[in-house]
Structure 1
Amino acid sequence: MQCGDAGGSPGQIAGIRVEAMAPMKFSLRNLELVLLVAEYSSVTRAAQLLGTTQSFVSKQIVRLEEDWGDRLFERTGRGMRLTSFGETILPQVRALLAQAQQLNNSITENAGVPAGNVRVGVVPSMSPRLLPRLVADIQQCAPAVRLMVLESFTGVLEEKLTTGELDVAVMNRYQAKRDHEDVLGYVDTMLIGKPGSPVLAETDVKFERIHRLPLVVPPLPDGMRVFLNREADAQHIEINIRLEINTISALTRIAASGQAFTFLPLLAVSDEVRSGKLAASRIVEPEMVRTISLGLNQHQPLSRAARLVAHRVRELMSELLE
């Protein structure tokens, strides 16, 4: 018997019978692909996130459907929609990928080198400044770490931290931070619009002056919308919401066109303000102060790689918010 051999006949380990598994009809890569297409309802977006082509993703979906004997998605004019079969297996796909990620984290953790996937969430107002710096920083200090980024609003990020779908998230709030979050800093909220707008002629704008201004804002339950509604009620002000949009690029484009005003921290639009594409004035009486906070996975302990990313986020945000 060779060193490390537990003995016994083939198919047995220390007296335990091990049955050969049937060949798998999928790979983890393909399950990840299915999950991304389901979450974004888009083959194109899934391909971008996986760093591959749209045709490759489409072919893999078709191959899986052939192997599994049923359709996963309906192709509609609005994108990819799960079939009843797809909806049935998606929770199992999500669970298996989470278990695989835990195994991968355990392997890399025990190997002693920061490596593996780290799922990072960032609110849209912070991502243009933070993400380029974070990606460059991690590539330099921990090249074996792969960042998987979700840009979304605080409510979505908080939910995904709670369920364990994110490891680290940079969020903002208009109220006190939650117990499990670290405060990274504070930023003023600005009224953003087209240069030359009379209401933006002064450095500060009283909240009451937004009375009946055409606004483009994120939908509820976004924290800024909650603050707007509450303060407008308190001051008996009518707010005129023309459009609800949940992407910062669309918010800024509409504001720059002069069709409506929006609310963002200066950090999110500093380049556009400097170039004259946008104008900004600080909201006062009351000030709309955002608390920028760092939230961590509440579902399971962080891997070494995730702890490293969290540390670097703290450092980089400290520099950005100076």
Structure 2
Amino acid sequence: MELRQLEYFVAVAEEASFTRAAERVHVAQPGVSAQIRRLERELGHDLLDRSGRGVTLTDVGAAVLPLARVALQSVESARRTVEEMAGLVRGVVRVGMVVSCGIMDLPELLSAFHSSHPDVEITLVEANSDALIESLLDGQLDFALIGYAGSAPDGLSVRVLADEPLVAAVAPEDPWYGRESVSLDELLERGLISLPPGTGLRGALDAACGSRRPRIAFEASAPPMVITLAQRGLGPAILALSMTDGLHAVRITDPSPSSRLGFAWRSEGPHSPAARALIRVAENQVTAKP
């Protein structure tokens, strides 16, 4: 049994496709198929069901999959331990960020990190906070900028960059223009403009509403479009106070929801030396800012 066979098996199981798995491991598809066949012959059982249009796990394959993941993770942990003992910082660090985040200059951070650690490969993805949190917890990401409401998500350490109240941002023609505050009950009577579920701002709004559901008239995937829709007089936009460019911010009361933005990483390792180095660079950058 070879490690690459386990790696190919895990890739096919997770991708449900030999083609996508081959692209993921950068090996021709026949090579992936051949290695998994050798693994199945050695184990004496089929791990994958190839009879349908897609690829699915057999009962034996489903039992072997978590063990294969553990074996691969153990080898990676051993490799990282050796690198640490040798004082090496290299490999890959995987970074995520919420869409249209302007609080932290991530390109500046990544540039500073690259200058210090040119041998480390850096990858970056944008997604909603819920997806980033899930990716952090399952090890697909090492570090991410996330938005959230309340306390830090379970299993993550978070360095808070901003903690802001949510407001109803309105254009001059809106009936709430000029008001200082509105109650949550009043807010629930209006059709609102909001980011989608899974974002930190929407999570803060939903948490404040509790069992009641806000009426979302317009939903946009990024704050600039939410702002534009509100500027066109289409209703109150639910935004953090710092986002209300060109709009009048009306405080929400009874209760007063707030949203936090911060960079996060798994509380429990293992963290690669590269990931820990990136976290140190990020914390130094934040501490240095006024």
> The TM-score by the shorter chain falls in which range?
0.5 to 0.7
What is the alpha-carbon distance in structure 2 between the residues aligned to residue 243 and residue 62 of structure 1? 48
SS at match of 1:134: helix
Matched, 1:184 2:151: no
Corresponding letter in the other structure for 1:291: R
Q: Deviations over 1:19-70 (max 9, x none)?
A: xxx5666485x6786587469xx95xx97xx7xxxxx96x734642354355
**Does structure 1 retain, via aligned residues, the 8 Å contact 2:94–2:141?**
yes
Which of 113, 116, 119 is the equivalent residue of 2:91? 116
Q: Deviations over 1:280-302 (max 9, x none)?
A: 44351335432233433233243
Corresponding letter in the other structure for 1:299: E
Matched, 1:103 2:78: yes
Question: What residue number does 1:282 align with?
Answer: 249
Which of 32, 39, 58 is the equivalent residue of 1:64? 32
Q: Structure 1: which 5+ residue stretches go unaligned? A: 1-21, 51-55, 76-80, 274-278
What is the alpha-carbon distance in structure 1 between the residues aligned to residue 214 and residue 283 of structure 2? 36
SS at match of 2:114: helix
Q: Deviations over 1:72-127 (max 9, x none)?
A: 7987xxxxx75235973654554444334323322322221322222334333537
Instruction: State the shift of 1:305 in Å.
Output: 1.9
What is the alpha-carbon distance in structure 2 between the residues aligned to residue 243 and residue 143 of structure 1? 44
Instruction: State the shift of 1:310 in Å.
Output: 0.7
Question: What residue number does 2:205 align with?
Answer: 228
Instruction: State the shift of 1:307 in Å.
Output: 1.8
Report the TM-score when normalising by structure 1: 0.59
CA shift in 2, pair 1:94/1:317, >3 Å: farther
Q: Deviations over 1:135-171 (max 9, x none)?
A: 2222211112223445444444444544544433333
Question: What residue number does 1:198 align with?
Answer: 174
Corresponding letter in the other structure for 2:119: A
Matched, 1:295 2:268: no
**Does structure 1 retain, via aligned residues, the 8 Å contact 2:169–2:250?**
no
1:99-248 counterparts in 2 under 5 A?
99-126=74-101, 130-177=105-152, 180-189=157-166, 198=174, 206=182, 208-209=186-187, 211-219=189-197, 223-232=200-209, 239-242=214-217, 248=221
More moved, 255-264 vs 207-216: 255-264
Matched, 1:84 2:57: yes
For the aligned residue pairs, the C-alpha RMSD in angstroms reads 4.8
**Does structure 2 retain, via aligned residues, the 8 Å contact 1:25–1:64?**
no
CA shift in 2, pair 1:33/1:313, >3 Å: farther
Instruction: State the shift of 1:312 in Å.
Output: 1.9
What is the alpha-carbon distance in structure 2 between the residues aligned to residue 91 and residue 130 of structure 1? 38
CA shift in 2, pair 1:35/1:224, >3 Å: farther
**Does structure 1 retain, via aligned residues, the 8 Å contact 2:201–2:240?**
no
Instruction: State the shift of 1:233 in Å.
Output: 6.0
Aligned residue-pair number? 268
Matched residues, percent identical? 19
Matched, 1:308 2:277: yes
Corresponding letter in the other structure for 1:312: V
What is the alpha-carbon distance in structure 1 between the residues aligned to residue 135 and residue 51 of structure 2? 24
**Does structure 2 retain, via aligned residues, the 8 Å contact 1:213–1:240?**
yes
What is the alpha-carbon distance in structure 1 between the residues aligned to residue 225 and residue 99 of structure 2? 14
CA shift in 2, pair 1:314/1:211, >3 Å: farther
More moved, 133-142 vs 284-293: 284-293
Q: Structure 2: which 5+ residue stretches go unaligned? A: 38-47
What is the alpha-carbon distance in structure 1 between the residues aligned to residue 126 and residue 134 of structure 2? 13
